[in-house]
Amino acid sequence: MVRPVLVLTHAPHEGPGMISRALDGIPYGVRTVLDVAEPRLPSVADLGGLVVMGGAVDADDERNHPGLAAERRLVAAAVEADVPVLGVCLGMQVLALALGARLHRRHGTEIGFAPVDVVADDPVLAPLGPRPIVLHWHDDAVDLPPGATLLASTPATPVQAFRAGSAVGLQFHLEVEPSMLDLWLGVPDMGGLLDDEVRDGVRGDGARHLPDLVPAAVAGLGAWADAVRTRARAQG
């Protein structure tokens, strides 16, 4: 039996998106424990993989969002047990904190489609090419966790992606497909915070770049999902 993947979300509009497509045939469940002080989370021994999605909160704001501490503990245990972990945006920051890195609030805002420099070979980023144009939507940043490998960078955010053992963190959004982008641009706490010119620019850039980005992103996310399948075969 294939162990399921747990997807932790922090906002109803920031779901797994194309990650669910990459997980084709692998069971997964979605939970939100952000504001639960003592959530009942599964043992990592029962997980085929762990995904931690994005959101608007600060990754270290446990006073207002106590579930973040439980997420961090589960992520650390998953990496220790060699369970495939994927952290996206806020999820990458939770992953980095779980591995001992520091968070830098309001380090630099990046919103919209822009390139990242891929600086190391990794199966998740390889399908994107050396300087893909991806969707950014953040203003916090993290240091590279001790022992992790830097995978991608921009001048504004030196740590845009990293690998630490079985875990991959992505500050940018490979999970976004056109319908999700439309949703984000219409949500008050995302697109509603942008001025009309920026919002229209993101929408137009999405129409230009997503047709090429989506298949490459599906391939890269599929490489991560393959690690989940490999874990299942090894335990079968």
Residues that are catalytic: 89, 173, 175
Record the tokens describing residue 159, joined without a space: 């740590």
Q: What is the DSSP string of the chain?
A: -PPPEEEE-SSTT---THHHHHTTTS-EEEE--TT-SS-----GGG-SEEEE---SS-TT-TTT-THHHHHHHHHHHHHHTT--EEEETHHHHHHHHHTTPPEETT---EEEEEE-EE-S--TTTGGG-SS-EEEEEES-EEPPPTT-EEEEE-SS-S-SEEEETTEEEESS-SS--HHHHHHHHHSTTTGGGS-HHHHHHHHHHHHHHHHHHHHHHHHHHHHHHHHHHHHHHHH-
Of 177, 161, 4, which Cα lies nearest the Cα of 87?
Answer: 161
Distance of CA 101 to the CA centre of its chain: 16
